[in-house]
Every structure is written in C-alpha cells, then in structure tokens.
Amino acid sequence: AGAEEDDGADEVLGLLDDMNKNRFEIFRSLTLLRQASLAVSLVDPEHAGVPSTKLDTLMELLEDIVGDGHRVFATARRADRLRGFADELGPALLPWPLAVTDAAAVAALPGALPAAWREVDVLVNNAGLALGLDPAYRAKLSDWETMLATNATGMMRMTHALLPGMVERNRGNVVNLSS
C-alpha cells in the first residue's frame, strides 16, 4: 500500500481531542459542511457548477411523487432552481418564485394560485438559510435576524396562509423540515 494523500481528516478529527477549546472551529466546520451539502458554491464560489446533493435528492423525491400521479406546487426564492425542476417534471409541477420573507406575497398566495392548484393537500416547509461562518460571538446580528425570518417566520407564514384551506376541506398535512 502506498502513501495516501492527506485530505485533512486528521486535522479535523484532532479538533475533537479538546472539544471545549476548539468548539468555535468545530461549529465553523459543521457550518461549512452543511453549506457544502446544499451547494458547494456556498463554500467556494469557484465550484458553482458542482451539483447540489440536496437538490439532487429533492429531484428524486419529486420524480417519485409525480410518478405516483400527484402534482407538485413548488416555491423557492431562486427562480432558476424552480425552472430546473419544471424542465424535468413538466406540467405536473407548478413553479412559483416566492420569498417566504415577503409577508404580503405569502398571505396573498392562496388566492393568487390558478384555480386548479388552490387545494394544497401537503405543505412541506423546507426553506432554509445559513449565513456567516464566524463564531457566534463575532457573528452579525443581522445575519441571525435574516436566518430567523427565513427559517422560522417564513415557515409560520406559509402554514398560516395554507392551513385554513386544509381545515376547510378537512384534509391536509403540514411537514416542517429544518437544518
């Protein structure tokens, strides 16, 4: 067996020897890992073309859902991601660019949908945002506020907008995912 290339694993695992001393570097590393799983370009913009594991997995799930005869109404802040899903899934997917931080747009959503798409049976709240790589004591408060507005308040807004229709029809489910 020849010498293996150093991939930095020993350095990272060495942080665990003194978790208290290295806690900020450990949290920073975990944040980088989470960002890389979403899109490698969040960690290194030079790798913007590298596929996103999360988006690939989501596409597989959407293909299964559509393959079972269901339709998908998908919202996202970034229209380019929605276009990719729509291109792959065709008319079974209704792409709807939407920022969950836009309270007025979310509140207007049920009435703004085409009539054939207004009866939403399953809401999957999956908006997520991670900003900043600094340790918490150096982080920008505005980053925290933006993350809360997206990750928590956005989820509540979407639920508040669509839940009344589910209750009225006596059917529906809300699934909240977080990272």
pLDDT in tens, 20-31: 777 777 767 776
Start-to-end CA distance of the chain, whole Å, equals 40
User: What distance in Å separates the CA atoms of residue 124 and residue 173, rounded to the nearest whole number?
Assistant: 8
Residue reference for tokens 């293909």:
63
pLDDT of residue 111: 95
CB-based contacts of 179: which residues, under 8 Å, 6+ apart? 34, 128, 130
Over residues 83-105, the mean pLDDT reads 91
CB 112 within 8 A of CB 132: no
Q: Indicate if the pLDDT at residue 165 is higher than 90.
A: yes
- The more confident residue out of 179 and 84 is 84
Q: Give the model's confidence band at 164: pLDDT under 50 very low, under 70 low, under 90 confident, else very high.
A: very high
- The more confident residue out of 15 and 58 is 58
Q: At what angle do helices 23-38 and 53-67 cross, to 10 degrees?
A: 40
pLDDT of residue 176: 85
Per DSSP bridges, beta strands 122-125 and 72-76 are unpaired
pLDDT of residue 177: 78
| Count of other CB atoms within 10 angstroms of residue 106 | 22
Q: At what angle do helices 154-169 and 103-112 cross, to 10 degrees?
A: 20
Helix extents (H) in the chain: 9-14, 23-38, 53-67, 79-89, 103-112, 141-148, 154-169
Tell me the percentage of the chain whose pLDDT exceeds 90: 31
- Tell if the pTM clears 0.85, that is, is over it: no
Q: Give the model's confidence band at 170: pLDDT under 50 very low, under 70 low, under 90 confident, else very high.
A: very high
